[in-house]
Amino acid sequence: MGMDVYDAFPSARDVFHSVDDALSQKLSHLIFHGDEGELKKTSNAQPALMAVSMALATVLRDEFGVDVGKIATFFAGHSLGEYSALCAAGVISIPEAAKVLRIRGRAMAEACPSGGSMAAIVGLTSEDVENILPECCGDGQIVQLANDNSPLQVVVSGHREAVEKVMEKSLKSNAKMAKMLEVSGPFHSILMEEAVAPVAEALEEMNFRNPVRPVIANVTARAEIGNFRELLLKQLTERVRWRESMAFAAAHSISACVEIGAGRVLSGLAKKISSDWDVTTVNSLETLEKFAKTCC
């Protein structure tokens, strides 16, 4: 991921090299040529995904003259993507984001040594799933709604036994799918509480600036222009309110969404949230060039 823009443009190489320098690690080599299992480790995956997003955004600006800070009304990012959104909005720098995401990834992976899981539930509303959750807790077992992604897609997070009970009861309640996710911990739940202190310490080292455009925060689902340190900490243990975030955008006359980064998951979610939106995915050199032409 990102190798095509790395090979094509010096501005993309500058982004990846700045992340390498910030981490004192050739993360770019791991992204392009390394072991997939090593790259999927949370402490590597988080800064890697941010690097790809920002390389694409930087190439758009420096090579094609498309400054997302000038054409966007709002920025938003899902979970770790919120750090990319803050970079794009000028709140934090790319090296700062890389450093804190390395710490965040490691802290999240280590926060629940007793084990935990996450599962996607498709075909039920967030309210449907929330009504199921109390039946699945008890005997020290915890499970929470972690991601409210779209009208009929949510993710639950907690102790594995409780998560399995939610999956079972969801299917009995006519969910279309209940699938365990390949993650290293029960993210966006109270079981991430031990990750808060190390991430808080890392965030204290960061210089937060005013955004060029408001950022719709995961935990408030509304446009924010400050208080990002506290919002990022809350994000560790609270749900990602993505459906509500996109509803906020729609309510403020947003008619087009552009997803910049590896993959196209958020583009798919956007279409489910509002069928009227013009949704564009920029995740490669080809899609970047195509989008840049529409902006000329």
pLDDT tens digits for range 267-285 = 999 999 888 899 999 999 9
Q: Give the strand pairing for 117-122 and 278-282.
A: unpaired
pLDDT value, residue 170: 98
Active-site residue, selected from the candidate residues 79, 93, 173, 274: 79
Active site residue 284: no
Give the integer Cα–Cα distance in Å for 238 and 240. 7
- DSSP letters for 109-142: HHS-TT--EEEEEESS-HHHHHHHHHHH-BTTB-
Active-site residue, selected from the candidate residues 28, 157, 159, 188: 188
Where in the sequence of the chain do the CATH 3.40.366.10 domains occur? Answer: 3-110+191-295
Active site residue 245: no
Provide the pLDDT confidence category of residue 7 given band limits of 50, 70 and 90: very high
Where in the sequence of the chain do the CATH 3.30.70.250 domains occur? Answer: 117-185
135-170: pLDDT as tens digits:
999 888 999 999 999 999 999 999 999 999 999 999
Q: What kind of architecture, by CATH, is found in domain 117-185?
A: 2-Layer Sandwich (3.30)
pLDDT value, residue 276: 87
The pTM score is 0.96
Structure tokens at 25: 């690690």
- pLDDT score of 6 more than 90: yes
59-94: pLDDT as tens digits:
999 999 999 999 999 999 999 999 999 999 999 999
- pLDDT score of 114 more than 80: no
The top-level CATH class assigned to 3-110+191-295 is: alpha beta
